[in-house]
Amino acid sequence: MLILAAGCTSIAPKPVTDREMSAQTVADRAASQKEVEPVKGPMTLEQAMARALKFNLDRRTKLMEEAIALNQLDVAKLDMLPKLTAQSGFASRDNDRTNLSRNITTGALAPNNFISQDRSHVVSQLGLTWNMLEMGVGYLGTLQAADRMLIATEKRRKAMHVLMQDVRTVYWRAVSAQKLKDEVKRIIALAEEALVDSRKSESERVRNPLDALRYQRQILENLRLLESIEQELASAQVELTNLVNVPIGTQLVLVDMPVSGSSDALKVPLEKLEETALLNNADLREQHYNARIARTETRKVLYRLFPNISFNYGVNYDTDSFLVNQRWNEAGLQVSYNLLNFLTAGTQKKYAEAGVALADQRRVAVQVAVLTQIHLARLQLVNAIGQFARADEIWNVDNKISTIVINREAARAQSKLERISNETAAVLSLLRRYQAAAQMQAAESRLQAGLGLEPAIPGIDVISTDELAQKITLHNLIWQSMVTQPAPPTQKTQVKEEQKK
């Protein structure tokens, strides 16, 4: 025992070595790309979303959390089963166990000592115990575990909505980066060339020094603007490769799809959007399950106030040679009750009821927040569509101006500075057009996430990326189906119908 105690107290911290870190890093990197399909050809938005849903590492984590919650439900079901215990033990002593006898009349001890037990013997038992109170509490715990599994499912749904929203936003930023990267580099090179020419003219005193400095300042201002655009575009590809789980540094070729300046989501009546959100929103459904868990906890408190009934049955065997019957069966029925429950019942019940009231209040607060989110998302979508239309008009004008200036400069009727300035303005307008498109996509995705709508996927592991992309393409038609479907009856319409009757 002293050696074991000394061994326990001699444990020292053991840091991870560089070799272990390096080996684990290689293993983790290989695990992140396990069963990940390589990118084949140009990638559309639907394919990017499909890859994100199928291979994104954060989404894989959410799926594993849901699987763990399902396993917890299976484990909780076992709490309702009776306990079957098998035990065996060995007992030994260094002297005989002896008994003395006393005469009940005279009080004198008998002259003989009697050995009543072997010095060494083995005791074995196989016992079955069934506690009715534990079975009832275990049943309620199983109901709570089932609700927690459903909560994990709703969290996975919410993570899916957020992931699809992020992919839609980053995709259009990456498309703009792909579209403008070469153009921005070309204009930067042109501006650098003009800056060198201007400094050379200044040093040779060919023109007024003040005019040369003003010329250089305008060139530098355009360069600063172009470099800021280049920095903003540089991160889009990295973010997209992370979302679709492609090795960092991979150059993705993205399809520049046409963007519509309208959305069918605005054709859906606002009452239809509200009703759909109240039925399908992941946050609101999660609060419903939390309220059910709180109510089940109240039932647990009530169950514990009842008497406990336990039944046990056992098969026993003892090698003690002094026993007449070395094998025997025994059964028992026991009723017990904790008398302190009379004193603590009121407090426990109030605590459980307070938990139910808190869960109900949270559900009400989330319901109002969801409705507010729907109204804000729809308003943001309206504003984003307007901003895109305005950005598209500005880009068309700047593009025409840039074309005219290039032609005039070729005819020596325009300076290189004005060409650089107008081409920079055209690039900036195109960037803002793509940014407005990304904001419009993000606003529509936020509205869709608030409604709790996602593509019907039978199983991520059993469906290919192309099939998943097709399902996402069909899911994008959800607004048209919502327009054609009749809206569910709301409380306001029910009141109006009753008043008409």
Question: Which domains, from first to last, does the chain contain?
Answer: 40-85+126-468+475-489 (1.20.1600.10)
- Reported as type and span, the H/E element at residue 126 is strand 120-131
Reference 259, options 171, 330, 187, 148; nearest CA is: 171
Residue 250 has pLDDT above 50, yes or no: yes
Mean pLDDT over 124-135 rounds to 86
Residue bearing the bigger pLDDT, 124 or 306? 124
Confidence label for 492 from pLDDT (cuts 50, 70 and 90): very low
Residue bearing the bigger pLDDT, 336 or 72? 336
Rounded-to-integer distance, Cα 499 and Cα 28, Å: 66
pLDDT score recorded for residue 495: 40
Residue 370 has pLDDT above 80, yes or no: yes
Confidence label for 383 from pLDDT (cuts 50, 70 and 90): very high
Rounded-to-integer distance, Cα 160 and Cα 144, Å: 24
pLDDT score recorded for residue 216: 74
| Both tokens assigned to 190 | 């042109």
Rounded-to-integer distance, Cα 138 and Cα 78, Å: 8
Mean pLDDT over 427-441 rounds to 84
Are 230 and 188 within 8 A, CB to CB?
yes
Reference 487, options 315, 275, 316, 277; nearest CA is: 275
Which residue carries 């808190």 as its tokens?
358
In the chain, % of residues over pLDDT 70:
86
pLDDT score recorded for residue 491: 46
Residue 97 has pLDDT above 70, yes or no: yes
DSSP string of 336-354, one letter each residue:
E--TTHHHHHHHHHHHHHH
Residue 315 has pLDDT above 90, yes or no: yes
The burial class, CB within 10 Å (0-12 / 13-18 / 19+), for 53 is buried
DSSP string of 284-337, one letter each residue:
HHHHHHHHHHHHHHHHHHHHHTSPEEEEEEEEEEE--TT-S-SEEEEEEEEEE-
> How do residues 145-187 score in pLDDT, each as one tens digit?
889 888 888 888 888 888 888 888 888 888 888 888 877 788 7
Winning range, highest mean pLDDT, from 25-34, 75-84, 433-442, 485-494: 433-442
For residue 315, give Cα distances in angstroms to 91, 322, 325, 327. 19, 19, 12, 8
Residue bearing the bigger pLDDT, 269 or 102? 269
Confidence label for 501 from pLDDT (cuts 50, 70 and 90): very low
pLDDT score recorded for residue 317: 92
pTM attached to this predicted model:
0.75
> How do residues 418-430 score in pLDDT, each as one tens digit?
777 777 788 888 8
Are 91 and 121 within 8 A, CB to CB?
yes
pLDDT score recorded for residue 375: 92
- Percentages helix, strand, coil for the chain (3-state, rounded to 5) are 70, 10, 20
> How do residues 38-91 score in pLDDT, each as one tens digit?
778 888 888 888 888 887 777 777 767 777 777 777 777 777 778 888 888 888
pLDDT score recorded for residue 1: 57
Mean pLDDT over 243-260 rounds to 81
| Both tokens assigned to 363 | 């559900």
- SS3 of residue 242 by DSSP: helix
Rounded-to-integer distance, Cα 328 and Cα 307, Å: 30
End-to-end CA distance of the chain: 88
